Amino acid sequence: MKNKSIIFFDIDGTLLNHDKELPISTKESIFKLKDLGHEVAIATGRAPFMFEDLRRELDINTFVSYNGQYVMLKGEVLYTNPLNISSLEKLTEAALHNNHPVVFMDHEDMKANVPEHVYIKESIDTLKIGKFPAHDPHYYKGRELYQSLLFCPEGEEKQYEQEFLDFDFVRWHPVSVDVLPKGGSKAKGIEKIVEKLGIPPERQYAFGDGLNDMEMLTTIRNSVVMGNGEEKVKSVAKYITKSVEEDGILHGLQLVGLL
């Protein structure tokens, strides 16, 4: 297809509403895009194992996960950017000392360094994925990890930001922070996919709502922020659509002329 475009969708607050439900209009819009010959992809902070059902439901096998650290193109691994394990080991020791739990995450699973903790339950509960990390304090050994979760109240991550310069710390919950390789982002992961497919900037689109979408929405020329998105995010996007609940994806795709 000569004028094939690629459209990247964030998941939480973009494809899925507050109750983690996929609106019917969103699902229909995705399949219409595919029928028109466009490439549809996901760009999320989630781990691959946290959106398998959604990928199956939408028949999507190209995605940027872990905010750009684990990228798949048409079912094949295209790019990975793992955490520095020795730095992660030191971070975990410091966090243990501060009674801040850590969860280790690779492309298949996640394990916690403590048997249980109220912060882990409180934050993971909000994802509604029906899965909690089992206890394995040595899960980081001998494998590539693409993200960790550090559990601490707002503001307490500052001490780690100052000490562990290999990492970026992105808060996603009042008691939880994503720990990512320094400089990694959805935008970097997207770059790998569009380069491989040879789709020019004017035919690249991205939909998002949160702070971890900022770089993606400033990099992609045709950027759309959801009506339920954060104000700071709305300020960087080219278009603002309606909220998820108000058929925001359908409206946004019509707004940019794709549907």
Indicate which residues carry an active-site annotation.
Answer: 10
Cβ atoms 152, 55 nearer than 8 A: no
130's torsion region: left (phi>0), alpha (psi -120 to 50) or beta? left
Q: Nearest-CA neighbor of 186 among 55, 69, 50?
A: 69
Residues 6 or more apart whose CB falls under 8 angstroms from that of 57 comprise: 22, 27
> What gap in Å lies between CA 163 and CA 228, rounded to an integer?
35
